[in-house]
Amino acid sequence: MKNTPHVSWILFPAILALGLAPTATVDVSTQQTPVVQRDFTKELANKMRGTYVVAATGDVLMHEALGRQASPALLKVLQEANTTIGHAEFYQLDRPAVPVSPALRDVAQDLSEAGFDLVGLGDSLDGDAAQRTGLEALAGFRIPVARQDRLPVFQNLPAGRAALITGPNPIRLSTARYVTAEQLSQLKAIRDSIVARRTEADVARPIGVPADLPDQVTIFADTFVLGRVAGEIREEPNGADREGNLMAVRATKQYADFIAFSMPMPPTPKGSHYGTARKPHESVVALAHDLVDNGMDLYVGRGNHVVQGVEIYKGRPIFYNLGDPSVHRTGATPESLTAILATATYQDGILQEVKLYPVDLGVNPLERPASKLGVAMTPSADVANRILAQLQKDSEPFGTRIVIENGVGIIRVPREATVAIGQNIKDFGTFPAAGGAGGRGGRGRGRGGL
């Protein structure tokens, strides 16, 4: 029974029929919905129940059928995880120019058979029409597709709901050039002289008055920052891009118990889109940490097609780059012919273990037929140890200890490594503006415990 008003609503019509009025009244205008302050250390945590296993790959460059020729042992890793995520890097309307490449419908079927549950999709070489066709083909196999618009796709499981967010490509970088104190003073004088002339009649494009911080100066499009050594150049993610990524993750945690985030690498320092650097860009490391602090549970970098290190940050795995389990043959470098399949095992939301399975795509090309180049195979013991030894070295700067057992890299994570986040967060935030519909749902393999 409700506390107010103290009148049985079943008898209310009879009371009115007798011409009587209720003895209790309610001033509805004074009632307010109580404000609930949620505990964001719980809201932003990994809330998957029981045992939950995630498998992750880098870019699946579909010149080769990954699921039909790859090593059965590697396919088993993908197929047995509760959630398997990857990124379909290459597709066109039907068949690409290379005659042996699979048709798009075959790519979608192949990804489904290989066990992928949540897939990111890159820009199409054939434009929007081809992207729509690609989405339709993947939807035909019930594979949720995360486009590069930060809007999540979901997988529903008995253990909870998993989400994948794909960040935009390319990452815009803001560049700062470092100068000495004396040089900064000279540059400010130059800027002031330019600003002073902004109202003169012969100035075709007047400069605005920059709102510079004390230790920096902006002249037209160039920003100079006070530093110890002149000539150093530092690149940082565009502020709006960073904010959009953080808000996408935090807002998605309203609907998801686990969030994986995939993002392309920024351009290399010399401007090339592709590189062979095994060290992630410092801006990527900083952003990955910020994403964890806003609710991300797993990070998968991609884009430069080279394996990079692994970090466990606050109990969340960060795979800076896993390489590609399927590659374009033409132009493939030795660095791009190895990859890693990674799994992360959780118990009631706490990371227990990460396993790293090496992949050989033809690192010794003369040891396999040309027809098998680019096909993901379990490497020999020697090649597996070589791949994992390099990964150990690349992961050391992050304090990550990888042990090698039977050709597999293993990171055992103590329970206390998982720490709470969200202490200073008061709300979920809002999704960044983006085109298309978000929250596209899909299938689930419900092997997770309750």
Give the phi and the psi of residue 438 in degrees, each rounded to 5: -100, 180
pTM of the shown model: 0.77
Query: CA gyration radius for the chain?
Result: 27
pLDDT higher for 333 or 81? 81
User: Per the structure block, which two tokens stand in for 264?
Assistant: 């392309």
Task: Give the Å distances, CA to CA, from 2 to 9, 27, 217.
Answer: 10, 15, 65
Residue 350 has, within 13 A of its CA and on its CB side, a CA count of 12
pLDDT higher for 248 or 240? 248
- Quote the pLDDT of residue 302: 84
* % of the chain with per-residue pLDDT over 70: 74
Mean pLDDT of the chain: 80
SS3 annotation, the chain:
CCCCCCCCCCCHHHHHHCCCCCCCCCCHHHCCCCCCCCCHHHHCCCCCCCEEEEEEEEEECCCCCHHHHCCHHHHHHHHHCCEEEEEECCCCCCCCCCCCCCCHHHHHHHHHHHCCCEEEECCCCCCHHHHHHHHHHHHCCCCCEECCCCCCEEEEECCEEEEEEECCCCCCEEEEEEECHHHHHHHHHHHHHHHHCCCCCCCCCCCCCCCCCCCEEEECCEEEEECCCCCCEEEEECHHHHHHHHHHHHHHCCCCCEEEEEEECCCCCCCCCCCCCCCCCHHHHHHHHHHHHCCCCEEEEECCCCECCEEEECCEEEECCEECCECCCCCCCHHHHEEEEEEEEEECCEEEEEEEEEEECCCCHHHCCHHHCCCCECCCHHHHHHHHHHHHHHHHHHCCCCEEECCEEEEECCHHHCCCCCCCCCCCCCCCCCCCCCCECCCCCCCCCC
Of the ranges 156-160, 262-266, 390-394, which one carries the lowest mean pLDDT score? 262-266
Of the ranges 3-17, 110-124, 145-159, 412-426, which one carries the lowest mean pLDDT score? 3-17
Task: Give the Å distances, CA to CA, from 38 to 35, 43, 407, 424.
Answer: 9, 7, 45, 12
d(CA 442, CA 450): 20
Are the beta carbons of 88 and 354 closer than 8 angstroms?
no
Q: How confident is the model at residue 54 (pLDDT cuts 50, 70, 90)?
A: very high
Q: pLDDT per residue over 271-321, tens digit each?
A: 444 556 788 888 889 999 999 999 999 999 887 778 999 999 999 999 999
pLDDT higher for 371 or 254? 254
User: Per the structure block, which two tokens stand in for 351?
Assistant: 């990371």
Domain-wise residue ranges, the chain:
42-172+238-417, 176-233
Average pLDDT over residues 56-76: 81
According to the per-residue pLDDT averaged within each range, which of 29-38, 235-244, 436-445 is highest? Answer: 235-244
Average pLDDT over residues 154-172: 87
* % of the chain with per-residue pLDDT over 90: 42
Average pLDDT over residues 80-101: 68
Are the beta carbons of 216 and 263 closer than 8 angstroms?
no
- Quote the pLDDT of residue 27: 53
Residue 136 has, within 13 A of its CA and on its CB side, a CA count of 9
> 338 CB contacts (<8 Å, ≥6 apart)?
307, 323, 358, 359, 360, 361, 363, 379, 383, 387
- Quote the pLDDT of residue 82: 98
- Quote the pLDDT of residue 94: 41
Q: pLDDT per residue over 366-417, tens digit each?
A: 888 877 888 899 999 999 999 999 999 999 999 999 999 999 999 999 999 9
- Quote the pLDDT of residue 371: 78
Q: What is the CATH T-level fold of the domain 42-172+238-417, as seen in this structure? A: Purple Acid Phosphatase; chain A, domain 2 (3.60.21)
Query: Looking at the predicted structure, is the pLDDT value of residue 153 above 90?
Result: yes
Phi-psi region of 331 (alpha: psi -120 to 50; beta: other; left: phi over 0): left
Of the ranges 102-106, 216-220, 316-320, which one carries the lowest mean pLDDT score? 102-106
Tokens 């690149």 label which residue?
A: 235
What type of residue sits at position 156?
Answer: N
pLDDT higher for 4 or 275? 275
DSSP strand pairing (216-219 vs 222-226) = antiparallel
Query: Looking at the predicted structure, is the pLDDT value of residue 50 above 90?
Result: yes
Q: How confident is the model at residue 11 (pLDDT cuts 50, 70, 90)?
A: very low
Of the ranges 205-209, 220-224, 373-377, which one carries the lowest mean pLDDT score? 205-209
Query: Looking at the predicted structure, is the pLDDT value of residue 63 above 70?
Result: no
- Quote the pLDDT of residue 270: 46
Q: pLDDT per residue over 328-352, tens digit each?
A: 655 567 777 899 999 999 999 999 9
Whether the link from the prior residue into 5 is cis, omega within 30° of 0, is: yes
Q: pLDDT per residue over 421-445, tens digit each?
A: 999 999 998 888 654 333 444 444 4
